Protein backbone atom coordinates (compact mmCIF):
# COMPACT_ATOMS: atom_id res chain seq x y z
CA UNK A 1 0.00 0.00 0.00
CA UNK A 2 1.12 3.55 -0.70
CA UNK A 3 2.10 5.49 2.44
CA UNK A 4 3.01 8.79 0.83
CA UNK A 5 2.26 10.38 -2.51
CA UNK A 6 3.53 13.83 -3.51
CA UNK A 7 2.14 15.31 -6.67
CA UNK A 8 3.42 18.46 -8.41
CA UNK A 9 4.61 20.12 -5.18
CA UNK A 10 5.67 23.78 -5.39
CA UNK A 11 7.20 25.53 -2.35
CA UNK A 12 8.66 29.00 -2.21
CA UNK A 13 10.07 31.44 0.35
CA UNK A 14 9.66 35.20 0.39
CA UNK A 15 12.89 37.00 1.28
CA UNK A 16 14.06 40.61 1.12
CA UNK A 17 15.82 39.77 -2.13
CA UNK A 18 12.67 38.30 -3.73
CA UNK A 19 10.94 34.93 -3.87
CA UNK A 20 13.01 31.73 -3.84
CA UNK A 21 11.35 28.92 -5.79
CA UNK A 22 12.83 26.10 -3.72
CA UNK A 23 10.66 23.17 -4.89
CA UNK A 24 9.26 23.28 -8.41
CA UNK A 25 6.86 20.50 -9.28
CA UNK A 26 8.13 17.51 -7.30
CA UNK A 27 6.40 14.12 -7.71
CA UNK A 28 7.34 11.15 -5.58
CA UNK A 29 5.81 8.27 -3.66
CA UNK A 30 6.71 5.79 -0.93
CA UNK A 31 5.24 2.31 -0.54
CA UNK A 32 4.72 0.44 2.73
CA UNK A 33 8.01 -0.80 4.20
CA UNK A 34 10.31 0.74 1.58
CA UNK A 35 13.08 3.35 1.80
CA UNK A 36 13.08 6.20 -0.67
CA UNK A 37 16.25 8.28 -0.77
CA UNK A 38 16.09 11.88 -1.96
CA UNK A 39 19.56 12.84 -3.15
CA UNK A 40 21.17 16.06 -4.30
CA UNK A 41 23.51 18.91 -3.44
CA UNK A 42 22.62 21.37 -0.69
CA UNK A 43 19.98 23.84 -1.84
CA UNK A 44 18.40 21.36 -4.29
CA UNK A 45 15.11 21.32 -2.36
CA UNK A 46 15.40 17.91 -0.70
CA UNK A 47 15.11 19.17 2.89
CA UNK A 48 12.33 21.60 1.94
CA UNK A 49 10.45 18.65 0.44
CA UNK A 50 10.87 16.78 3.75
CA UNK A 51 9.74 19.80 5.76
CA UNK A 52 6.66 20.07 3.54
CA UNK A 53 5.72 16.46 4.26
CA UNK A 54 5.90 17.17 7.99
CA UNK A 55 4.02 20.47 7.72
CA UNK A 56 7.07 22.34 8.97
CA UNK A 57 7.56 24.99 6.29
CA UNK A 58 8.29 28.13 8.34
CA UNK A 59 5.46 30.63 8.03
CA UNK A 60 4.77 33.33 6.98
CA UNK A 61 7.79 33.42 4.63
CA UNK A 62 7.50 29.86 3.38
CA UNK A 63 4.46 28.71 1.47
CA UNK A 64 3.27 25.58 -0.31
CA UNK A 65 2.13 27.21 -3.53
CA UNK A 66 0.67 24.20 -5.23
CA UNK A 67 0.40 20.45 -5.44
CA UNK A 68 -0.61 17.74 -3.06
CA UNK A 69 1.01 15.68 -0.28
CA UNK A 70 -1.04 12.63 0.61
CA UNK A 71 0.05 10.72 3.69
CA UNK A 72 -2.21 7.70 4.23
CA UNK A 73 -5.71 9.28 4.20
CA UNK A 74 -4.54 12.79 5.06
CA UNK A 75 -4.04 15.62 2.59
CA UNK A 76 -1.19 17.28 4.49
CA UNK A 77 -1.33 20.60 2.62
CA UNK A 78 -4.79 21.41 3.97
CA UNK A 79 -4.59 20.10 7.55
CA UNK A 80 -4.72 22.44 10.56
CA UNK A 81 -1.51 23.05 12.55
CA UNK A 82 -3.05 21.13 15.46
CA UNK A 83 -3.71 18.04 13.34
CA UNK A 84 -0.22 18.26 11.79
CA UNK A 85 1.29 18.34 15.28
CA UNK A 86 -0.72 15.24 16.21
CA UNK A 87 0.52 13.36 13.15
CA UNK A 88 4.15 14.38 13.73
CA UNK A 89 5.63 12.18 16.40
CA UNK A 90 2.85 9.59 16.18
CA UNK A 91 2.24 8.59 12.57
CA UNK A 92 5.38 10.27 11.19
CA UNK A 93 8.69 10.10 13.10
CA UNK A 94 11.59 12.44 12.41
CA UNK A 95 15.35 12.10 12.69
CA UNK A 96 17.51 15.15 12.04
CA UNK A 97 21.19 15.62 11.29
CA UNK A 98 22.26 17.02 14.64
CA UNK A 99 20.92 14.96 17.55
CA UNK A 100 21.90 17.73 20.00
CA UNK A 101 19.24 20.07 18.57
CA UNK A 102 16.53 17.38 18.78
CA UNK A 103 17.10 16.63 22.47
CA UNK A 104 16.27 18.72 25.52
CA UNK A 105 19.55 19.21 27.46
CA UNK A 106 17.72 19.95 30.73
CA UNK A 107 15.64 16.77 30.79
CA UNK A 108 16.65 13.17 31.51
CA UNK A 109 16.76 11.11 28.33
CA UNK A 110 14.27 8.57 29.69
CA UNK A 111 11.73 11.27 30.55
CA UNK A 112 11.94 12.71 27.02
CA UNK A 113 10.84 9.35 25.64
CA UNK A 114 8.29 8.77 28.43
CA UNK A 115 6.55 12.01 27.37
CA UNK A 116 5.56 10.48 24.04
CA UNK A 117 4.11 7.38 25.64
CA UNK A 118 2.25 9.47 28.22
CA UNK A 119 1.05 12.37 26.05
CA UNK A 120 0.51 10.72 22.70
CA UNK A 121 -0.32 7.13 23.69
CA UNK A 122 -1.94 7.95 27.09
CA UNK A 123 0.07 5.38 29.07
CA UNK A 124 0.68 5.63 32.83
CA UNK A 125 4.12 6.80 34.06
CA UNK A 126 5.11 3.25 35.10
CA UNK A 127 4.03 1.72 31.80
CA UNK A 128 5.83 4.50 29.92
CA UNK A 129 9.08 3.89 31.81
CA UNK A 130 8.99 0.15 31.03
CA UNK A 131 8.39 0.88 27.34
CA UNK A 132 11.15 3.49 27.27
CA UNK A 133 13.74 1.12 28.73
CA UNK A 134 12.73 -1.57 26.22
CA UNK A 135 13.02 0.92 23.38
CA UNK A 136 16.45 2.17 24.51
CA UNK A 137 17.58 -1.44 24.45
CA UNK A 138 16.09 -1.95 20.97
CA UNK A 139 18.12 0.95 19.55
CA UNK A 140 21.32 -0.41 21.06
CA UNK A 141 21.82 1.62 24.26
CA UNK A 142 23.76 -0.60 26.69
CA UNK A 143 22.50 -0.70 30.30
CA UNK A 144 19.28 1.14 29.44
CA UNK A 145 17.92 1.10 33.01
CA UNK A 146 20.86 3.24 34.21
CA UNK A 147 21.09 5.37 31.05
CA UNK A 148 17.36 6.20 31.39
CA UNK A 149 18.33 8.77 34.05
CA UNK A 150 21.22 10.36 32.13
CA UNK A 151 21.16 13.69 30.29
CA UNK A 152 22.02 14.14 26.60
CA UNK A 153 25.49 15.62 27.33
CA UNK A 154 26.42 12.30 29.00
CA UNK A 155 25.99 10.45 25.67
CA UNK A 156 28.39 10.29 22.70
CA UNK A 157 27.22 11.63 19.29
CA UNK A 158 26.32 8.16 18.02
CA UNK A 159 24.45 7.27 21.22
CA UNK A 160 22.55 10.56 21.08
CA UNK A 161 21.45 9.74 17.54
CA UNK A 162 20.24 6.35 18.82
CA UNK A 163 18.17 8.20 21.45
CA UNK A 164 16.71 10.46 18.73
CA UNK A 165 15.81 7.34 16.74
CA UNK A 166 14.15 5.89 19.87
CA UNK A 167 12.07 9.08 20.24
CA UNK A 168 11.10 8.93 16.55
CA UNK A 169 10.04 5.29 16.96
CA UNK A 170 8.21 5.59 20.28
CA UNK A 171 4.72 5.92 18.81
CA UNK A 172 5.47 3.26 16.18
CA UNK A 173 5.05 5.58 13.15
CA UNK A 174 4.37 4.18 9.70
CA UNK A 175 6.77 6.71 8.13
CA UNK A 176 10.19 7.87 9.31
CA UNK A 177 11.76 10.95 7.79
CA UNK A 178 15.52 10.94 8.25
CA UNK A 179 17.21 14.18 7.15
CA UNK A 180 20.98 13.55 6.79
CA UNK A 181 20.85 11.23 9.84
CA UNK A 182 24.54 10.28 9.74
CA UNK A 183 26.20 13.43 8.37
CA UNK A 184 27.30 14.76 11.76
CA UNK A 185 28.80 11.42 12.84
CA UNK A 186 32.20 9.87 12.17
CA UNK A 187 32.48 7.03 9.67
CA UNK A 188 32.34 3.98 11.97
CA UNK A 189 29.41 5.42 13.91
CA UNK A 190 27.68 6.27 10.60
CA UNK A 191 27.85 2.59 9.63
CA UNK A 192 26.35 1.54 12.96
CA UNK A 193 23.45 4.00 12.65
CA UNK A 194 22.75 2.82 9.09
CA UNK A 195 22.73 -0.78 10.34
CA UNK A 196 20.29 0.22 13.07
CA UNK A 197 17.94 1.95 10.60
CA UNK A 198 18.10 -1.11 8.34
CA UNK A 199 17.24 -3.45 11.21
CA UNK A 200 14.38 -1.22 12.39
CA UNK A 201 12.90 -1.15 8.93
CA UNK A 202 13.11 -4.91 8.59
CA UNK A 203 11.63 -5.62 12.00
CA UNK A 204 8.95 -2.92 12.06
CA UNK A 205 8.25 -2.58 8.33
CA UNK A 206 8.50 1.20 8.70
CA UNK A 207 8.69 3.23 5.48
CA UNK A 208 11.61 5.67 5.39
CA UNK A 209 12.23 8.87 3.46
CA UNK A 210 15.97 9.37 3.62
CA UNK A 211 17.37 12.79 2.74
CA UNK A 212 21.06 12.65 1.90
CA UNK A 213 23.83 14.01 -0.31
CA UNK A 214 25.78 10.77 0.15
CA UNK A 215 25.37 8.06 -2.50
CA UNK A 216 27.19 5.59 -0.22
CA UNK A 217 24.32 5.95 2.27
CA UNK A 218 21.83 5.48 -0.57
CA UNK A 219 23.46 2.25 -1.71
CA UNK A 220 23.45 0.99 1.88
CA UNK A 221 19.87 1.75 2.80
CA UNK A 222 17.53 2.73 -0.03
CA UNK A 223 15.21 0.73 -2.29
CA UNK A 224 14.46 3.62 -4.63
CA UNK A 225 16.06 7.01 -5.27
CA UNK A 226 14.86 10.41 -6.47
CA UNK A 227 17.68 12.69 -7.62
CA UNK A 228 16.85 16.37 -7.13
CA UNK A 229 18.45 19.36 -8.80
CA UNK A 230 17.37 23.01 -8.45
CA UNK A 231 13.99 22.10 -6.99
CA UNK A 232 13.15 19.44 -9.58
CA UNK A 233 13.35 15.62 -9.55
CA UNK A 234 15.63 15.00 -12.53
CA UNK A 235 15.86 11.20 -12.24
CA UNK A 236 13.98 8.53 -10.29
CA UNK A 237 14.43 4.79 -10.11
CA UNK A 238 15.40 1.79 -8.07
CA UNK A 239 18.90 1.76 -6.59
CA UNK A 240 19.80 -0.74 -9.32
CA UNK A 241 18.42 1.59 -12.07
CA UNK A 242 20.40 4.55 -10.77
CA UNK A 243 23.70 2.80 -10.13
CA UNK A 244 23.67 0.45 -13.14
CA UNK A 245 21.89 2.46 -15.79
CA UNK A 246 21.74 6.17 -14.91
CA UNK A 247 20.17 8.35 -17.60
CA UNK A 248 20.69 11.95 -16.51
CA UNK A 249 24.01 13.81 -16.85
CA UNK A 250 23.65 15.16 -13.31
CA UNK A 251 23.34 11.58 -11.98
CA UNK A 252 26.40 10.63 -14.07
CA UNK A 253 28.26 13.50 -12.37
CA UNK A 254 27.13 12.44 -8.88
CA UNK A 255 28.22 8.85 -9.50
CA UNK A 256 31.63 9.97 -10.75
CA UNK A 257 32.16 11.91 -7.55
CA UNK A 258 31.83 8.76 -5.39
CA UNK A 259 34.88 6.53 -4.74
CA UNK A 260 34.53 2.95 -5.99
CA UNK A 261 35.87 0.72 -3.22
CA UNK A 262 35.74 -2.35 -5.49
CA UNK A 263 38.00 -0.83 -8.14
CA UNK A 264 41.58 -2.14 -8.29
CA UNK A 265 42.79 0.96 -10.14
CA UNK A 266 43.35 4.36 -8.60
CA UNK A 267 40.40 6.48 -9.71
CA UNK A 268 40.25 10.23 -9.95
CA UNK A 269 37.15 11.64 -8.30
CA UNK A 270 35.31 14.13 -10.46
CA UNK A 271 33.68 17.23 -9.02
CA UNK A 272 30.73 18.64 -10.96
CA UNK A 273 31.99 22.01 -12.13
CA UNK A 274 29.92 25.17 -11.76
CA UNK A 275 27.11 26.09 -9.41
CA UNK A 276 23.34 25.48 -9.43
CA UNK A 277 21.10 28.17 -10.95
CA UNK A 278 19.70 31.10 -9.04
CA UNK A 279 16.33 29.99 -7.65
CA UNK A 280 15.17 33.61 -7.31
CA UNK A 281 14.86 33.47 -11.07
CA UNK A 282 14.93 29.82 -12.14
CA UNK A 283 15.79 29.04 -15.76
CA UNK A 284 12.99 28.29 -18.22
CA UNK A 285 14.73 25.23 -19.58
CA UNK A 286 16.75 22.43 -18.01
CA UNK A 287 18.21 23.74 -14.72
CA UNK A 288 21.42 21.72 -15.28
CA UNK A 289 22.12 23.28 -18.69
CA UNK A 290 24.84 25.67 -17.44
CA UNK A 291 26.88 22.78 -16.04
CA UNK A 292 26.01 20.04 -18.49
CA UNK A 293 28.67 19.00 -21.04
CA UNK A 294 25.92 17.74 -23.38
CA UNK A 295 23.64 20.81 -23.31
CA UNK A 296 21.88 21.56 -26.60
CA UNK A 297 19.97 24.64 -27.69
CA UNK A 298 16.64 23.07 -26.77
CA UNK A 299 17.89 22.53 -23.19
CA UNK A 300 18.23 26.28 -22.57
CA UNK A 301 14.66 27.08 -23.60
CA UNK A 302 12.50 24.11 -22.70
CA UNK A 303 12.29 21.99 -19.57
CA UNK A 304 12.32 18.34 -20.69
CA UNK A 305 9.28 16.17 -19.90
CA UNK A 306 9.63 13.06 -17.77
CA UNK A 307 10.74 10.14 -19.96
CA UNK A 308 10.04 6.59 -18.66
CA UNK A 309 12.48 3.71 -19.31
CA UNK A 310 10.56 1.21 -17.17
CA UNK A 311 7.73 1.39 -14.66
CA UNK A 312 10.19 2.45 -11.96
CA UNK A 313 12.79 4.45 -13.88
CA UNK A 314 12.35 7.96 -15.31
CA UNK A 315 14.47 11.04 -16.08
CA UNK A 316 14.01 14.58 -17.36
CA UNK A 317 16.65 15.10 -20.03
CA UNK A 318 16.48 16.01 -23.71
CA UNK A 319 19.15 13.39 -24.43
CA UNK A 320 16.47 10.80 -23.75
CA UNK A 321 14.08 12.28 -26.30
CA UNK A 322 13.77 10.05 -29.37
CA UNK A 323 14.83 12.96 -31.60
CA UNK A 324 18.21 13.15 -29.81
CA UNK A 325 18.87 9.43 -30.20
CA UNK A 326 22.23 9.57 -31.98
CA UNK A 327 23.54 12.27 -29.68
CA UNK A 328 22.33 10.52 -26.55
CA UNK A 329 24.14 7.32 -27.54
CA UNK A 330 27.39 9.23 -27.99
CA UNK A 331 26.89 10.93 -24.60
CA UNK A 332 26.02 7.68 -22.77
CA UNK A 333 28.97 5.91 -24.43
CA UNK A 334 31.28 8.74 -23.40
CA UNK A 335 30.09 8.40 -19.80
CA UNK A 336 30.59 4.64 -19.81
CA UNK A 337 34.09 4.87 -21.19
CA UNK A 338 35.06 8.24 -19.75
FE1 LIG B 1 22.06 18.31 -20.18
FE2 LIG B 1 20.14 19.06 -21.82
FE3 LIG B 1 19.87 16.82 -20.47
FE4 LIG B 1 19.73 19.15 -19.24
S5 LIG B 1 18.31 18.36 -20.77
S6 LIG B 1 20.84 17.41 -18.54
S7 LIG B 1 21.23 20.33 -20.35
S8 LIG B 1 21.40 17.28 -22.04
| pLDDT digits 0-9 by tens, 289-315 | 999 999 999 999 999 999 999 999 999
CA angle, 290 then 293 then 299, to 5°: 55
Distance between CA atoms of residues 160 and 192, nearest Å = 13
Ligand 1 centre to CA of 290 (Å) is 9
pTM over 0.85: yes
Could you tell me the sign of the dihedral formed by the alpha carbons of 31, 33, 37, 38, in that order? positive
Q: What is the pLDDT of residue 226?
A: 97
Distance between CA atoms of residues 11 and 27, nearest Å = 13
Ligand 1 centre to CA of 214 (Å) is 23
Q: What is the pLDDT of residue 338?
A: 47
Q: What is the pLDDT of residue 327?
A: 65
Ligand 1 centre to CA of 139 (Å) is 44
Pick out the chain residues at pLDDT < 70. Answer: 259-270, 325-338
Burial (CB count <10 Å: 0-12, 13-18, 19+), residue 206:
buried
Ligand 1: residues within 6 Å at CB?
248-249, 286, 288-289, 292, 294-296, 299, 304, 317-319
Sequence-distant (≥ 6) Cβ neighbours of residue 283 within 8 angstroms = 230, 277, 289, 290, 300
Q: What is the pLDDT of residue 269?
A: 55
Amino acid sequence: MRVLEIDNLHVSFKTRGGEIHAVRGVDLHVEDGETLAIVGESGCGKSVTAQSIMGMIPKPHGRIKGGSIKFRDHEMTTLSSKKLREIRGTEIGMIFQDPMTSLNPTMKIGHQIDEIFIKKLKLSRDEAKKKTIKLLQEVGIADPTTRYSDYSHQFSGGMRQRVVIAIALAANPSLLIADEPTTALDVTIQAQILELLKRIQLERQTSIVLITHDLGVVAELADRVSVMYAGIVVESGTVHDLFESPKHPYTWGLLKSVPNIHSQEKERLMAIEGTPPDLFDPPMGCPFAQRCPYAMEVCIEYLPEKEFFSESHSARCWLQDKRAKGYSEIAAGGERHG
